[in-house]
Amino acid sequence: MQKRMWQNAYRTTVVCVDSYDDGVLAGRMYNPGLQNGERFHGLMQFLIKMEDLLDTLQFPQPFMDSRGFSTTRGQAASAPVSEQHQQGKRATFALKVLFRQNASWQGSVTWLEGGREESFRSVLELVLLMDSALSPGES
């Protein structure tokens, strides 16, 4: 297997959230490792596409092998997305996954419109941070 060294630009994925209706996330994600941006609809699709991107980049390396009930994961076809407008209608996040340990992700997320950066220790914590930016005033 060939080792790859990625520049810092590959470590950041821009997540553009265009809608967040009834807690359903929809938008686009951009990374230099993607030929085009990727659309997603729903949290599960976002997480699977992000995990696939991290696997493709081979960075960060997962601490353990993924397990599942099925041996293959279905890929939803994605229409090409223009990279010229990398801003979400609801919010835009710069996501840096630095580690993949304990079957989760660790890193930092920056809410660009709010100008705040927070570290996260798990995918659940990342999701809750994003929700807090998308649902201000709700507890």
Nearest to 31 by CA among 16, 20, 41, 45: 16
CA-nearest of 51, 78, 54, 56 to 67 is 51
State the pLDDT at residue 70.
66
Q: pLDDT tens across 87-134, in order?
A: 999 999 999 999 999 889 999 999 999 999 999 999 999 999 999 999
At 96, which amino acid appears? K
Q: What pLDDT is recorded for position 75?
A: 54
Q: What is the pLDDT of residue 63?
A: 57
Beta strands in 58-129 (DSSP E): 91-99, 106-111, 116-120
Mean of pLDDT values over 34-45 = 94
Q: What pTM was estimated for this model as a whole?
A: 0.80
Please report the beta strands in 38-122, taking only residues with DSSP state E, as ranges in sequence order: 38-41, 91-99, 106-111, 116-120
Q: Per-residue confidence at 41, pLDDT binned at 50, 70, 90? A: very high
Instruction: Note the Cα 131 to chain centre separation in Å.
Output: 14
| Model confidence pLDDT, tens digit, residues 46-92 | 999 999 999 888 775 665 565 566 665 555 555 556 555 789 999 99
Amino acid 95 reads L
Q: What is the mean pLDDT of the chain?
A: 83
Cβ contact 58:67 at 8 Å: no
pLDDT tens column, 23-37? 999 999 999 988 889
Which residue has 């079957």 as its token pair?
Answer: 103
